[in-house]
Amino acid sequence: MSRLELRARADRLRTHAPHVVLCATGAGIAYLVARHVLGHEQPIFAPIAAVLGLGISYGQRLRRVGEVVVGVAIGVLVGDLLVRAFGTGAWQIALVVGLGMSVAILLRAGTLMINQIAIQGVFVTLYAQTSTGAIVGRWTDAATGGAVALLLATLVPRRQLRRPVVLAREVLSTVADLLLEASSAARDGDVERGRDALAHARGTQSRLDLLRAAASEGVDVARLTPFRGSHAAQARAVSALAVPLDRAVRNVRVLSRRLSVATDRSEVVPQELLVLVDELAGATLRLAEDLGGGRRLDDAVDALAAVGLASTLVPRSSLSADVVLAQVRSATVDLLMVAGLDDAAAHERVPPRPGEHFG
């Protein structure tokens, strides 16, 4: 195993360490409560429910806990009824699993609930513990584990709640880098650098996917974490800006591609247009810094608006230059929306070019 791979695995463990600690703690607490408070001799499902409810991510914990608890109840009920009617054995297990999963699908249950129903049915069928006390005990164990999971779910590290904002800043910084790479390659007529810039632009999708997932997870966390109001609000704000940011990145990809094509074909791109691309990069970087620092975005909005106004003064020339200019203007509107402006206000900051309607 290479040193780079070892470092990557260590980084992955470091990233998930809070989840591991939380799951381990939740499993231990759930067992102690079910064993010593409720008096259950073998509270197997309490730590299991806690671990499944907490999971390896912060998102959708409320749903996971609900699916575990309801899944245990349905699985035990189906298994108990069929064991009483048909006894235990291989075909009975198949019947319990098939019927239980069918009920879950009819209820439009998630994957976790479907699996829980099947697992609980197998347990009941194999061990034939069908007394009312055993059935209630399994369900209360699951409810105990779920309650512990929900309690611990409110203990979210500050770093995790800020993750969507950090990722948004990284994506915006990447956009600024892409713009500078593309304009620099076109200015120098460097075909290889232009192709590298294009490849870099095409590789931004994974960062956007991470941002969307983190923003969605942050909103889920906000529902369970009453102690981090400001960070929860930030997570919701980042979730709202994910769509215009995605559009901005797509526009920059097209811009990079067109500049790469122009460089490859030795087309002349007006210097004032390349300067405009650089200015958009600077405004984007200002937006990244202010957003990441939790500062007001007025300066970033002004910088982007200046780009929008300047874009009306760049003369038309070749097809490639016109495409690049159109992408600069579209990306500017998208970034203004990332900064918090609505669609109408963003378009007002990027006025139409003479004789054109920009919408």
Question: What CATH number does residue 220 fall under?
Answer: 1.20.58.220
Does 123 lie in the same domain as 170?
no
Helix (H, G, I), strand (E, B) or coil at 345: helix
Q: Assess if residue 60 is contained within a domain.
A: yes
Does 162 lie in the same domain as 140?
no
Report whether pLDDT(178) > 60.
yes
Hey, what amino acid is at 110? Answer: G
Does 175 lie in the same domain as 324?
yes
Does 133 lie in the same domain as 165?
no
CB 4 within 8 A of CB 36: no
Torsions phi, psi for 293 (to 5 deg): -85, 0
Does 164 lie in the same domain as 136?
no
Q: Which of 92, 119, 153 is the last residue of a domain?
A: 153
Does 60 lie in the same domain as 165?
no
Q: What is the pLDDT of residue 233?
A: 65
Q: Assess if residue 354 is contained within a domain.
A: no
Does 256 lie in the same domain as 203?
yes
Does 69 lie in the same domain as 205?
no
Q: Which of 121, 153, 185 is the last residue of a domain?
A: 153
Does 139 lie in the same domain as 165?
no
The residue among 217 and 140 whose pLDDT is bigger is 140
Q: Which of 137, 153, 169 is the last residue of a domain?
A: 153
Does 177 lie in the same domain as 294?
yes
Q: What are the percentages of helix, strand and coil residues in the chain, rounded to 5?
A: 80, 0, 20
What residues make up the domain containing 204? Answer: 158-348
Q: Assess if residue 320 is contained within a domain.
A: yes
Report whether pLDDT(176) > 80.
yes
Q: How many domains does the chain have?
A: 2
Report whether pLDDT(172) > 80.
yes
Q: What is the pLDDT of residue 52?
A: 79
Instruction: Give the residue-averaged pLDDT of 257-283.
Output: 88
Does 235 lie in the same domain as 115?
no
Non-local (6+) Cβ contacts of 67 within 8 A are 109, 110, 112, 113, 116
- Pairwise CA distance, residues 100 & 125, whole Å: 12
The pLDDT tens digits of the residues spanning 273-327 come to: 999 999 999 999 999 999 888 788 899 999 999 999 999 888 877 788 888 899 9
Does 164 lie in the same domain as 108?
no
Q: Assess if residue 296 is contained within a domain.
A: yes
Report whether pLDDT(86) > 70.
yes
Q: Assess if residue 356 is contained within a domain.
A: no
The pLDDT tens digits of the residues spanning 41-57 come to: 888 878 888 887 787 66
Q: What is the pLDDT of residue 64?
A: 72
CB 278 within 8 A of CB 181: no
Q: Assess if residue 141 is contained within a domain.
A: yes
Q: Assess if residue 353 is contained within a domain.
A: no
